[in-house]
C-alpha cells in the first residue's frame, strides 16, 4: 500500500538548511502554496534575513520537491521578530534583538568575528548595528574604517550612530583619542556603556551585535544582567587555555538566563599564505568538545588567515572586501545559523500591549 505524498508546504517545511540542524518549520518559517492560478506560487517566509541566501534556498527546494513543484514560482521573504530576553527586562526601543558576542578571553579574534557577522547579516538584508562594548580597548572604529570620526548629537543628549558598509555603529572610540587610555573603574565603565546603548538613536534595527569586553568579571556580569539580550554566542580558539575562559563566559550567560545560540571556533586552522598548507596549530576539535559538553551548537569554524587580518586592519572586513570568497562564505554560514537559531526561540510580545498608568484624581 503506497503512502499519500506529504503536502507540498509540509515537504518544504521539512527542509534542513546546511547551516543549522533543524527544519525550516521549526525556525520561525511559514510556507504558503497558492495553486489557484495558472502557475502555482510557493511563498516561503523566513524568520531571518535571506537576501543572498534566498536564491540558494529556492534551488534547494526545487530539488527537494522535484516534479511536484514543476513550473511553480518560488518567492522567499522574511520578517525578523523581536525575541524574548531575560525575564526582568524588555527589548529597547528601535532594537528588535541584541546579540552578545563574547569570548571570556582576549586575543581570540572576537571583535573581528563580531564585525564580520554583523556585515554578513546586513548583506542578507537585515538592519544591523554594532555596539563596541569594549570600553578599555575599542576596536570597531578601526575595523570599520571609522577611526578619527565623531558622532553628531543634534539635541546635546543623544548620539547619532555612524554608518559603515550599511551597518550602524557606536563606540567609545568615537568620543576619545585613539591612543588615550581609559583609566576608569568598573562602575564608570558600566555607566558609560549603558549610555552608549540607550542614548544612541538606533534606527529600527533587526539585530544589534554587541562586541563584549573580554573576561567574566563584574563589568561583564552587570552588562549581562542589565542589557536585554536575545541571544549570545561564544568565540574561542581550539586551544585548551582559551576554552577554559570560554566555558566561564558561557556559564555566565546561563546564570543570567541568556539564550546561548552557539559556539564559534576561531583560528581553527592556520592557512599558509605561501603554499596554502592548512594546519591546526592551536589544536583540533576544542570548539566541538565544548559545544557537546554544554549541549549547544557549534555554529562554525574559521581559519587563521592573513587576509582576514589585512582586510580588518584596512577598515574593510572580509565579508565586504571579498563577499564571494570562501572566507566570507564561512562568516555567512555562521551568521545565518545564529539568526536562524534566534528565530526558533520564543518571541517577545510586550511591544503589542499598551502601557497602562494609574493616576490619582
Rg (CA), the chain: 22
Q: For residue 139, what pLDDT is reported?
A: 93
Helices 240-255 and 218-226 cross at an angle (nearest 10°) of 40
Strand-strand pairing, 73-78 and 162-164: unpaired
Measure the CA–CA gap between 68 and 74, rounded to whole angstroms. Answer: 13
- What single string gives the DSSP state of each residue in 191-202? HHHHHHHHSB--
Q: For residue 6, what pLDDT is reported?
A: 64
Q: How far apart are the first and last CA of the chain?
A: 75
Strand-strand pairing, 298-301 and 167-171: unpaired
- What is the helix (H) or strand (E) element at residue 299, kind and residue range? strand 298-301
Q: For residue 37, what pLDDT is reported?
A: 67
pLDDT band at 318 (very low <50, low <70, confident <90, very high): very high
pTM of this prediction exceeds 0.85: yes
Residue 40 has pLDDT above 70, yes or no: yes
The three three-digit cell numbers of residue 323, written as one number: 563577499
Residue 357 has pLDDT above 50, yes or no: no
User: Residue-wise over 163-187: b if at least 16 C-beta within 10 A, else e?
Assistant: ebbebbbbbbbbeeeeeeeeeeeee
Q: For residue 4, what pLDDT is reported?
A: 45
Residue spans of alpha helices (H) in the chain = 8-13, 53-65, 110-123, 140-143, 186-198, 218-226, 240-255, 286-294, 306-313, 318-321, 326-343
Kindly tell me the sign of the dihedral angle through the C-alpha atoms of 107, 109, 111, 112.
positive
The model's pLDDT over 136-157, given as tens digits with 9 standing for 90+, comes to 889 999 999 999 999 999 898 9
Residue 1 has pLDDT above 50, yes or no: no
The three three-digit cell numbers of residue 252, written as one number: 555566565
Q: Cell 594546519 sits at which residue?
A: 279
Q: What single-letter DSSP state applies at residue 86?
A: -
Q: For residue 351, what pLDDT is reported?
A: 55
User: Which range has the worst mean pLDDT, 59-63, 282-286, 336-340?
Assistant: 282-286
pLDDT band at 14 (very low <50, low <70, confident <90, very high): very high
The model's pLDDT over 226-270, given as tens digits with 9 standing for 90+, comes to 899 999 999 998 888 788 888 988 999 988 889 999 999 999 888
Residue 356 has pLDDT above 50, yes or no: no
The three three-digit cell numbers of residue 9, written as one number: 508546504
Q: For residue 352, what pLDDT is reported?
A: 53
Residue 218 has pLDDT above 80, yes or no: no
Amino acid at each position: 500500500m503506497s503512502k499519500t505524498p506529504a503536502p507540498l508546504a509540509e515537504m518544504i517545511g521539512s527542509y534542513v538548511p546546511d547551516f543549522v540542524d533543524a527544519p525550516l518549520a521549526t525556525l520561525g518559517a511559514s510556507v504558503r502554496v497558492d495553486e489557484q492560478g495558472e502557475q502555482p506560487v510557493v511563498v516561503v517566509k523566513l524568520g531571518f534575513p535571506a537576501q543572498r541566501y534566498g536564491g540558494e534556498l529556492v534551488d534547494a527546494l526545487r530539488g527537494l520537491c522535484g516534479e511536484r513543484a514543476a513550473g511553480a514560482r518560488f518567492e522567499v521573504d522574511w520578517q525578523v521578530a523581536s525575541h524574548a530576553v531575560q525575564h526582568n527586562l524588555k527589548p529597547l526601543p528601535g532594537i528588535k534583538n541584541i546579540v552578545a558576542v563574547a569570548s571570556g578571553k582576549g586575543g581570540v579574534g572576537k571583535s573581528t568575528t563580531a564585525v564580520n557577522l554583523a556585515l554578513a547579516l546586513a548583506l542578507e538584508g537585515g538592519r544591523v548595528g554594532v555596539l563596541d562594548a569594549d570600553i578599555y580597548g575599542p576596536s570597531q572604529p578601526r575595523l570599520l574604517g571609522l577611526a578619527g570620526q565623531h558622532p553628531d548629537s543634534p539635541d546635546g543628549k543623544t548620539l547619532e550612530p555612524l554608518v559603515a558598509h550599511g551597518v550602524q555603529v557606536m563606540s567609545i572610540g568615537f568620543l576619545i583619542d585613539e591612543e588615550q587610555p581609559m583609566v576608569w573603574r568598573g562602575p564608570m565603565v558600566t555607566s558609560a556603556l549603558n549610555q552608549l546603548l540607550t542614548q544612541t538613536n538606533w534606527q529600527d534595527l533587526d539585530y544589534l551585535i554587541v562586541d563584549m569586553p573580554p573576561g567574566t568579571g563584574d563589568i561583564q556580569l552587570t552588562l549581562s544582567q542589565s542589557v536585554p539580550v536575545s541571544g549570545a554566542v561564544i568565540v574561542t580558539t581550539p586551544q585548551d587555555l582559551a576554552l577554559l575562559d570560554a566555558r566561564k563566559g558561557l556559564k555566565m550567560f546561563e546564570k543570567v538566563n541568556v539564550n546561548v545560540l552557539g559556539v564559534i571556533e576561531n583560528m581553527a586552522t592556520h592557512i599558509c599564505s605561501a603554499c596554502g598548507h592548512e594546519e591546526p596549530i592551536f589544536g583540533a576539535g576544542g570548539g566541538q568538545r565544548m559545544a557537546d559538553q554544554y549541549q549547544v551548537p557549534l555554529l562554525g569554524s574559521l581559519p587563521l588567515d592573513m587576509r582576514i587580518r589585512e582586510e580588518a586592519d584596512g577598515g574593510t572586513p572580509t565579508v565586504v572586501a571579498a563577499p564571494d570568497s570562501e572566507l566570507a562564505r564561512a562568516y555567512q554560514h555562521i551568521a545565518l545559523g545564529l539568526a536562524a537559531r534566534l528565530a526558533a526561540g520564543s518571541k517577545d510580545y510586550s511591544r503589542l500591549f499598551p502601557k497602562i498608568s494609574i493616576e490619582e484624581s
